[in-house]
Structure formats: structure tokens, C-alpha cells
């Protein structure tokens, strides 16, 4: 067993998005963690894997070995998606959170985001992934998805605004892309969606989303 060190390096393996591991990948990742005697391995609140306490020299080669498992998150995509097991795997699930999350991860926007865009998707109203506290939140009911925008946790928390209810997968993805495009166009540099919504306002956003298309 390795000893905890004072090193404060931090490495996240973003490829494990939505907290999903393929068993074969998991075995290989564990082998690498053991080889480097990583002092502390932790599942983060974002459903990713953090490797802590590795010194600078070792961190570079550790990251190189983990590269096949790392999903690079470009500036034109959302930062990460958290999703619960949803209707495929949870008895309470009403909508397939994992399937929607996979579709959302693949969307590439025309312009890069200048701040993080975190997404939480829950298969039912119990909201296990805290969608009201994410930049983009979705939760399912028997009638479809509810879309929430502009939430945030941290030291200045904000409950997101409900944009629309009873959406199909395609409607939810289409509407959230429109929300994020308006956010890209109108937000100040580095401004997260919560601060943007405090300034821009839900009425103006709804007007842009719904009225100007009629």
C-alpha cells in the first residue's frame, strides 16, 4: 500500500463521462493506477476519476498512459455531462438519461464557450444529478423532459429557470442548443450561465427562444 504524500497535483480522467466504465477499460486503468502507486484515487462529484498526489515527473507519463481513455473536451462542446442510470437501469426512471447524455456529448457548437458548461441529466423528478444546479439541467417525467437553464452550485448558488416541459429527446436537444447559442452570443467573456441569466433574464430568453420564431 502506498503512503499519502504532500503532492497536490490533480488529474482527472474525463473519458469516463457520466461515470460509465467498460470493465476492460476499468481493469486497464486500475493496472496503471497500481503501477504508479497513485496515493489517492477518487470519484469526483462530476462522476469522473481524480488521481491525486502524484509528483510532477510521474504525472506526465501517467497522463500519457491514460490518454487512450481520455475524452478530450473541446471548447466547442459542453464541459461534461452528468447523468443518472435513467429508465434503462433505475426502477424510478421515466426517461433514458444515459442515451440523452451520449447524444449531448457529441454536439459541437459553431463557436467555443468562454466558460464551463456543466450538464446534469436525471431520468425522473427525484433529480439525483441536481439538474437545477447545472448550467443545463434535464429531468424526465412520463410526458418527456423538463429543460432547466442557468443553474449553479458553489459559493454563489442559483436555481436554474425552467425553460420548457414535456419535451421529446430531439426537442430537448434542439432547445438547449438554442439556449446555449443565445448564451454564447450575449454573455460576457468567462461569464457562467447563472450570472448571465441574472442579467439577461428569463423573460428575454423566452422571448428570443419562442416569440421571435413565430
Interface stretch with ligand SF4, choices 9-17, 119-127, 153-161, 186-194 (CB under 6 A):
119-127
Residue 62 or 124 having the CB closest to ligand SF4: 124
Minimum distance from residue 128 beta carbon to ligand SF4 (Å) = 3
**144 contributes a contact to ligand SF4 by CB under 6 A:** no
Residue 66 or 98 having the CB closest to ligand SF4: 98
| 3-state SS, one letter per residue, for 57-96 | HHHHHHHHHHHHHCCCCCCCCCCEEEECCHHHHCCCCCCC
Backbone angles phi, psi at 13, to 5 degrees: -100, 90
**84 contributes a contact to ligand SF4 by CB under 6 A:** yes
By CB under 6 A, what part of segment 90-109 binds ligand SF4? 90, 92-93
Q: What's 158's DSSP letter?
A: B
Minimum distance from residue 132 beta carbon to ligand SF4 (Å) = 12
The DSSP element (H or E) to which 119 belongs, if any, is strand 118-122
Minimum distance from residue 67 beta carbon to ligand SF4 (Å) = 31
Interface stretch with ligand SF4, choices 39-47, 55-63, 126-134, 187-195 (CB under 6 A):
126-134
Q: In the set 53, 123, 137, 144, which binds ligand SF4 (CB under 6 A)?
A: 123
**162 contributes a contact to ligand SF4 by CB under 6 A:** no
CA 164/CA 209 separation, integer angstroms: 10
- Reading the block at residue 1, the C-alpha cell is 500500500
Asked whether 172 and 145 are in contact (CB, 8 A), the reply is: yes
Asked whether 103 and 97 are in contact (CB, 8 A), the reply is: no
CA 35/CA 10 separation, integer angstroms: 17
Q: In the set 30, 43, 107, 126, which binds ligand SF4 (CB under 6 A)?
A: 126
Residues of the shown chain interacting with ligand SF4 in the complex, contacts defined by CB under 6 A? 84-86, 90, 92-93, 122-124, 126-128
Amino acid at each position: 500500500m502506498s503512503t499519502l504524500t504532500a503532492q497536490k497535483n490533480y488529474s482527472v480522467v474525463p473519458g469516463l463521462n457520466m461515470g460509465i466504465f467498460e470493465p476492460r477499460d476499468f481493469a486497464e486503468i486500475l493496472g496503471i493506477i497500481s503501477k504508479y502507486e497513485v496515493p489517492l484515487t477518487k470519484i469526483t462529484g462530476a462522476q469522473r476519476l481524480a488521481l491525486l498526489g502524484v509528483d510532477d515527473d510521474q504525472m506526465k507519463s501517467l497522463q500519457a498512459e491514460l490518454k487512450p481513455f481520455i475524452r478530450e473536451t473541446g471548447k466547442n462542446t459542453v464541459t461534461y455531462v452528468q447523468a443518472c442510470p435513467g429508465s434503462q437501469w433505475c426502477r424510478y426512471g421515466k426517461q433514458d438519461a444515459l442515451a440523452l447524455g451520449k447524444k449531448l456529448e457529441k454536439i459541437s457548437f459553431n463557436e467555443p464557450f468562454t466558460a464551463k458548461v456543466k450538464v446534469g441529466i436525471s431520468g425522473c423528478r427525484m433529480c439525483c444529478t441536481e439538474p437545477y444546479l447545472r448550467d443545463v439541467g434535464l429531468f424526465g417525467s412520463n410526458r418527456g423532459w423538463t429543460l432547466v437553464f442557468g443553474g449553479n452550485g458553489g459559493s454563489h448558488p442559483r436555481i436554474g429557470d425552467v425553460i420548457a416541459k414535456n419535451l421529446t429527446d430531439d426537442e430537448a436537444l434542439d432547445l438547449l442548443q438554442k439556449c446555449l447559442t443565445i448564451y454564447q452570443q450575449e454573455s460576457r467573456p468567462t461569464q457562467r450561465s447563472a450570472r448571465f441569466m441574472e442579467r439577461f433574464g428569463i423573460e428575454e430568453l423566452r422571448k428570443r427562444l419562442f416569440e421571435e420564431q413565430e
